[in-house]
C-alpha cells in the first residue's frame, strides 16, 4: 500500500470512526456510568471487534456472511438481540447519581467491559458488508495482502481509540455531573433508546443494502 493510498484510507478511517453508531453509544454509556478510566475499557473491546471484522474479511468469512442468507441472518439477529438487551438494561438502570451508583454497585470487571465492547462491533454483519465494500478499493492485489490488511486494521484501530476516547471523556465529564434523579432517569432512557434504535436499524439492514 503506497503512502498516498494509505493517507486516503486514513482520512476515510476518521470518517468511519466519528460517524455515530452503536460503538459511539456504547462508549458514551460506559463513560457516563463508570467514568473515563473504567469506561474507556469498553473501547478496547470495540477495537477488538473491528479487528475481528477485518480478520473475517481478510479470511473470506466476510464474503460468506454477505452471500449466505443463513449466516447473515444468524449473525444479524444475534447482534440485534444483544443491542436490545443493552437497551433494556440501560433503560432499567436505577435513577441514582452516577457517581454514587458506581461507588455502591458492583462495577463490571475490565474483562467484562472489553467483552461487551467486542460484542457490539463483532456481531454486526452491517460492518462486515461495509468493510467488504470499502477495503478492496485500497488494496494492491499485485502485492502481498496480509501486510496491507495489518495496516488497515491498525489504522482503523488507532482512529477508533482516539475518537472513542473523546466520546467517553465527554460523557464522563458532562453527564456524570448531573445529579438529580430526574436527570439520571433521562440519561438512562436516552441511552437505552439509542441502543434499541441501533438494534432496530440493524434489524432492518439487508445484504443488498
pLDDT in tens, the chain (209 residues): 788 888 888 988 887 788 777 888 889 888 888 888 889 999 999 999 999 989 888 887 666 666 777 877 877 787 788 778 877 877 776 655 555 444 445 567 899 999 999 998 888 777 777 777 777 778 787 888 888 899 999 999 999 999 999 999 988 887 666 666 676 677 777 777 877 887 787 677 665 54
**159 part of a folded domain:** yes
Q: Tell me the C-alpha distance between 197 and 83, whole Å.
A: 9
**95 part of a folded domain:** yes
Q: Give residue for cell 484501530.
A: 157
The answer to whether 26 and 116 are in contact (CB under 8 A) is: yes
**130 part of a folded domain:** yes
Q: Which of 69, 82, 81, 43 is nearest to 161 (CA)?
A: 43
Q: Which of 126, 135, 123, 118 is nearest to 66 (CA)?
A: 126
Helix (H, G, I), strand (E, B) or coil at 24: helix
Q: Tell me the C-alpha distance between 154 and 158, whole Å.
A: 6
Give the number of other Cβ atoms within 10 Å of residue 68's Cβ: 13
The answer to whether 127 and 36 are in contact (CB under 8 A) is: no
**209 part of a folded domain:** no
What's the domain count of the chain?
Answer: 1
Which runs of E-coded beta strand occur in the chain? none
DSSP 92: T
**32 part of a folded domain:** yes
**121 part of a folded domain:** yes
**16 part of a folded domain:** no
109 φ/ψ angles, rounded to the nearest 5 degrees = -65, 160
Per-residue cell: 157? 484501530
Per-residue cell: 76? 444479524
**135 part of a folded domain:** yes
Give the domain range for residue 85.
3-11+21-204
First to last CA, the chain: 29
Please name the helix (run of DSSP H) or strand (run of DSSP E) that holds residue 118, with its range, or none. Answer: helix 110-122
Give the number of residues written for the chain: 209
Q: What pTM value is reported for the model?
A: 0.74
Q: Tell me the C-alpha distance between 175 and 98, whole Å.
A: 8
Amino acid at each position: 500500500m503506497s503512502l498516498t493510498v494509505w493517507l486516503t484510507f486514513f482520512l476515510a478511517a476518521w470518517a468511519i470512526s466519528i460517524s455515530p453508531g452503536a460503538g459511539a453509544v456504547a462508549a458514551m454509556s460506559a463513560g457516563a456510568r463508570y467514568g473515563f478510566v473504567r469506561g474507556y475499557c469498553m473501547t478496547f473491546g470495540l477495537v477488538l471487534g473491528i479487528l475481528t471484522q477485518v480478520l473475517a474479511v481478510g479470511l473470506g468469512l466476510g464474503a460468506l456472511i454477505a452471500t449466505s442468507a443463513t449466516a447473515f441472518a444468524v449473525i444479524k439477529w444475534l447482534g440485534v438481540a444483544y443491542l436490545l438487551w443493552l437497551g433494556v438494561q440501560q433503560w432499567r438502570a436505577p435513577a441514582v447519581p452516577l457517581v454514587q451508583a458506581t461507588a455502591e454497585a458492583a462495577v463490571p470487571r475490565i474483562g467484562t467491559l472489553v467483552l461487551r465492547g467486542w460484542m457490539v462491533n463483532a456481531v454486526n454483519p452491517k460492518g462486515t458488508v461495509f468493510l467488504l465494500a470499502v477495503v478492496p478499493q485500497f488494496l494492491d492485489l499485485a502485492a502481498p495482502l496480509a501486510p496491507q490488511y495489518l495496516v488497515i486494521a491498525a489504522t482503523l484501530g488507532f482512529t477508533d481509540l482516539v475518537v472513542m476516547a473523546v466520546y467517553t471523556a465527554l460523557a464522563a465529564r458532562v453527564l456524570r455531573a448531573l445529579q438529580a434523579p430526574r436527570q439520571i432517569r433521562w440519561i438512562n432512557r436516552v441511552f437505552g433508546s439509542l441502543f434499541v434504535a441501533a438494534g432496530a436499524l440493524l434489524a432492518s439492514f439487508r445484504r443488498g443494502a
